[in-house]
């Protein structure tokens, strides 16, 4: 659990649904749909998490980091009204992403 005493602590730290996370950790259910989120949270390769092959520590390159820095630099230099529009859009997209992640890691009834 990489630095966590309990599954509950790990799930709380990363914003995962505890019941689902606990089931994944125990192997009670597969992790295919949540593997990408777990790999990112624990900074390991998704392929290693799913198959156990290769090294966990071979972190995948951060995609888009240079593009993100450039885009945010442009936003920072833009007029306040443009910054407000961009911020509103970014918050909308991130909120939708977080909601979909919660649904993907929610336990099935």
The answer, yes or no, to whether residue 50 has pLDDT greater than 90, is no
Q: How confident is the model at residue 2 (pLDDT cuts 50, 70, 90)?
A: low
Q: How confident is the model at residue 92 (pLDDT cuts 50, 70, 90)?
A: very high
Q: Which residues neighbour 18 within 8 Å (Cβ) at sequence distance 6 or greater?
A: 7, 8, 11, 12
The answer to whether 92 and 83 are in contact (CB under 8 A) is no
Q: How confident is the model at residue 3 (pLDDT cuts 50, 70, 90)?
A: confident
pTM: predicted TM-score of the whole model, two decimal places: 0.50
Residue 98: CA count within 13 A, CB half-sphere: 8
Query: Which residue is associated with the tokens 């799913």?
Result: 50
Q: Which residue has the higher pLDDT, 42 or 66?
A: 42
Q: Which residue has the higher pLDDT, 97 or 89?
A: 89
């Amino acid at each position: 659990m990489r630095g966590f005493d309990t599954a509950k602590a790990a799930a709380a730290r990363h914003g995962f649904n505890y019941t689902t996370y606990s089931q994944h950790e125990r192997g009670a259910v597969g992790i295919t749909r949540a593997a990408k989120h777990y790999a990112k949270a624990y900074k390991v390769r998704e392929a290693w998490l799913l198959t156990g092959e290769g090294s966990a520590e071979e972190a995948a390159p951060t995609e888009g980091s240079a593009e993100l820095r450039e885009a945010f630099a442009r936003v920072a230099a833009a007029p306040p009204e443009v910054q407000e529009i961009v911020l509103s859009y970014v918050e909308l997209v991130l909120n939708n992403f977080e909601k979909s992640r919660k649904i993907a890691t929610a336990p099935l009834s």
